[in-house]
């Protein structure tokens, strides 16, 4: 997933979910976006780190010497941050990316996508295969003209919204932004494993009878895990990891 600076306030923010996967590129400077696994270039993730990490292509506002803002910054980007571009290129080549709150007008990303297109053309890959999906509030003819062959656009405004001549621009934006939030909530729900809440007392009321039986069985294991720390043995480390994934 690529997060841009125009994502609606609160969307995915504070949700340390698996939707971002092992790598979540971000093109803006938002310091509020954190991942437990670390950030690039501030932190170096390890292979197999399941916690995920966040790639900030344009730097972090708390590290002013590394922010990409001026024209010179953009022109020198390939030399100074070429390795970060390579990460995004690899993701575009190997995955279907989701773009949220991203205008698709960033010069650096245009160059990244251009390099990927050249590689796929030389490799004679499926010409109709698209690199990803853009989640947007509205349709945009200019964006479709520039990216239509590479990216699918999903606009959350409905035909009835577009036909409502009585609605002001601000009203249409408010309706579309709310629908955008609802869609992201559903996306996070579908992406998250369905068993993460079993040992979390906050969700007791949502458990089925079968889930409650599983919880009772696991609670004795939780008690044993308190007596044996994860460092006690590789086996107990796996047990602690499992209980952590289940909300324990």
Q: Tokens representing 93?
A: 């080549």
Sign of CA dihedral 29, 33, 34, 38: negative
Within 8 A by CB and 6+ apart from 65, the residues are none
3-state secondary structure of 117: helix
CA distance 2 to 138: 18
Degrees to nearest 5, angle at CA 132 with 128 and 134: 120
Distance CA(125)–CA(75), nearest Å, equals 30
Say what the pLDDT of residue 160 is. 67
Peptide linkage before 41 cis (omega within 30 of 0): yes
Q: Please give the pLDDT value at position 36.
A: 45
State the pLDDT at residue 15. Answer: 37
Segment 27-77, tens digit of pLDDT = 554 555 454 444 554 455 554 555 566 777 777 777 666 676 667 777 677
- What pLDDT does residue 49 have? 54
d(CA 195, CA 97): 25
Report the pLDDT value the prediction gives residue 188, as an integer from 0 to 100. Answer: 83
Would you state the pLDDT for residue 37? 45
Residues of the chain where predicted confidence (pLDDT) is lower than 70: 1-53, 63-66, 68-70, 75, 124-128, 159-166
Q: How is residue 15 written in tokens?
A: 């949700």
DSSP for 1-49 reads -EE-TTSPTTSSTT---GGGTT-EEE-S--TT---TT-EETTS---TT-
Q: Which contacts qualify for 166-173: CB closer than 8 Å, 24 or more apart? A: 172/138, 173/137
The pLDDT score that the predictor gives to residue 180 is: 92
In 3D space, the residue among 179, 51, 152 whose CA is nearest the CA of residue 98 turns out to be 152
Q: DSSP letters along 39-101, please? A: EETTS---TT-TT--EEETT--TT-GGG---SHHHHHTHHHHHHHHHHHHHHHHHHS-EEEES
Tokens for 18, please give them. Answer: 């698996």
């Amino acid at each position: 997933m690529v997060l841009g600076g125009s994502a609606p306030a609160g969307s995915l923010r504070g949700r340390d979910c698996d939707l971002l996967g092992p790598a979540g590129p971000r093109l803006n400077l938002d310091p509020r976006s954190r991942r437990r696994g670390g950030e690039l270039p501030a932190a170096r993730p390890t292979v197999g780190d399941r916690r995920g990490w966040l790639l900030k292509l344009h730097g972090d506002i708390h590290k002013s010497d590394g922010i990409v803002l001026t024209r010179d910054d953009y022109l020198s980007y390939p030399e100074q941050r070429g390795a970060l571009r390579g990460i995004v290129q690899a993701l575009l080549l190997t995955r279907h990316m989701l773009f949220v709150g991203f205008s698709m007008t960033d010069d650096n990303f245009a160059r990244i996508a251009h390099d990927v297109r050249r590689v796929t053309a030389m490799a004679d890959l499926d010409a109709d295969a698209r690199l990803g999906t853009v989640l947007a509030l509205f349709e945009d003819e200019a964006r479709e003209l520039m990216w239509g062959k590479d990216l699918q656009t999903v606009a959350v405004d409905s035909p009835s919204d577009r036909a409502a001549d009585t609605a002001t621009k601000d009203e249409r934006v408010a309706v579309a932004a709310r629908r955008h939030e609802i869609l992201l909530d559903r996306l996070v729900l579908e992406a998250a494993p369905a068993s993460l809440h079993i040992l979390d007392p906050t969700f007791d009321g949502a458990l089925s009878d079968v889930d409650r039986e599983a919880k009772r069985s696991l609670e004795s294991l939780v008690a044993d895990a308190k007596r044996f720390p994860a460092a006690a043995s590789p086996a107990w480390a796996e047990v602690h990891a499992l209980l952590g994934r289940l909300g324990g």
